[in-house]
Structure 1
Amino acid sequence: MLVRLYNENPNPREIRLITDVLRSGGLIIYPTDTVYGLGCDITNQKAVEKVARWKGVNIEKNNFSFICSDFSHLSDYTRPIPSNIFKLIKKNLPGPFTFILEANNNVPKYFKGKKKTVGIRIPDNNIIREIVTELGNPIVSTSIHDEDEILEYTTDPELIYEKYKDVVDVVIDGGFGELIPSTIVDCTQYEPEVIREGKGELEY
């Protein structure tokens, strides 16, 4: 199913329809403030396993990130954040960043394995944030950006739908996406470190 939503004012009825799909274990492709992402409800293990199979990766070893709607989810899934790191995160989110933080015991066990970190995203995009708010918990996020594919597949939602309609339950058309992914910042040490330069430029 291809659903058109507008970032300025996403239709609440469509948002509820999409969250129903997520709750029932469905996969969605959605816009962010960078590239389009593929995701599911983090509390649904079967859905998470579907995402991992699609990527051809092991859940425990792959660095999936969580899309959150606001800062309240940070304390839900991370250990206490040092004040200097929290100030940095607050200054830059919502925005095109993934912050790697120490995970707490609320992160579902099938994600953690030997990893003790979690990537957190709060995109500057109303569509996906409204979906997460309605769902009540974060969604797993993995980008569908692929260096080997024709570039249009990652930017044009109609082409994305043509390619992935048999893989996911809903593709959200939120307008053209971008080709540059988020900037990844490792915040597990006292001094944050940019480990992937992406769209976002950190403000300190």
Structure 2
Amino acid sequence: MSADGTAPQAEVSVFSTISSAQPKQALSLHKYLSRASIATPINLLLFSVFALLVYTQLRPKPPAVLPKAPAPVVFRTFTPKTLLPFNGENGQPVYLAVRGRVFDVSPGRNFYGPGGPYENFAGRDASRGLAHQSFDREMLTEDLSGPLDDLKDLNADQLENLQSWEERFSEKYLVVGKLVAEGDAEAPKS
């Protein structure tokens, strides 16, 4: 509509042409155009999906929670008696010694902890047993107050076995201390 109240010429001619030729079609087109709206079911559905996507992208997110850091490991000196409690029982970590170095093998608890195939070595010096490829109790030093096993009677193959085990432990596990004999000057005072 123009300011004087008359319809613009283009609209009048379209409707007048349609209305003069086919009056019913002109009326239905006029009704359709007057009723046409953006509120169709598909438009409402699309708008709802759009609103949901915007909400999920812009809603506040909970702060990220970092996992708790493991307790720091302090390098310390062990004797055979002070190493013995670290056998994985009662929630203790699993330590074992190889040639005087104490390894934390807790990540391999299934192997070295209680019920594992190498549980005899937990909390003990495993050097002789690893050198002999034997996991029997007879390979363990019984006298915990005596000197450490010097391994002097091992042959070349046994020393090679021990070396490969030691390298494997060094690659996989942390060294948490060293093992000294009970009367050694570095032994912890009880």
Q: TM-score, normalised by structure 2?
A: 0.24
Q: Which has the higher contact order (CA 8 A, sep 6+)?
A: 1
Q: TM-score, normalised by structure 1?
A: 0.23
Q: Which has the higher helix share?
A: 2
Larger Rg: 2
